[in-house]
Amino acid sequence: AARGGGRRAAVPTTRGARVAPVGRASCRRSRALPDVPHSAGSGAPFDGGSWRAIVAPPGVPADVSAKLNAEIAATLQQPAVKERLARIGLEVVASSPAELTAALQRDVPKWGKAVKDSGAVAE
């Protein structure tokens, strides 16, 4: 998985000293903005971070899934890949299929409720 989000736009702005970040909605500090406190450290354990995942269709055999996961994780750990992703504000966090499942089970209901409560609809 790769984590990232609004900081792709925020990092260049803060480097130009046009704005000063006061915090980020996350449970951990950003490598791109290490001096900016996270909300959990300020007493508000809110994680508004985003992530990306590579998924396979249902029914892929477990051994194939494990091999794909290992190869993708190895690629994401290559220094050149990590550096390029960091330049666009993404932090590599390689995870297992079980960890992705846990993230989906945690985040889909949370953000689904937020979308429903907002009244937003797909067009």
Q: Are 76 and 92 in contact (CB under 8 A)?
A: yes
Does residue 113 fall inside a structural domain?
no
Does residue 115 fall inside a structural domain?
no
Does residue 103 fall inside a structural domain?
no
Does residue 43 fall inside a structural domain?
yes
Per-residue pLDDT of 4-38, as tens digits, reads 555 555 555 566 667 777 777 777 777 777 788 87
- Rounded Cα–Cα distance for residues 26 and 28 (Å): 5
> What is the tally of structural domains in the chain?
1
Does residue 44 fall inside a structural domain?
yes
The model's pTM is 0.62
Per-residue pLDDT of 111-121, as tens digits, reads 899 899 999 99
Does residue 69 fall inside a structural domain?
yes
Domain hosting 15: range is 2-96
- Rounded Cα–Cα distance for residues 84 and 78 (Å): 10
- Rounded Cα–Cα distance for residues 35 and 16 (Å): 15
Does residue 123 fall inside a structural domain?
no
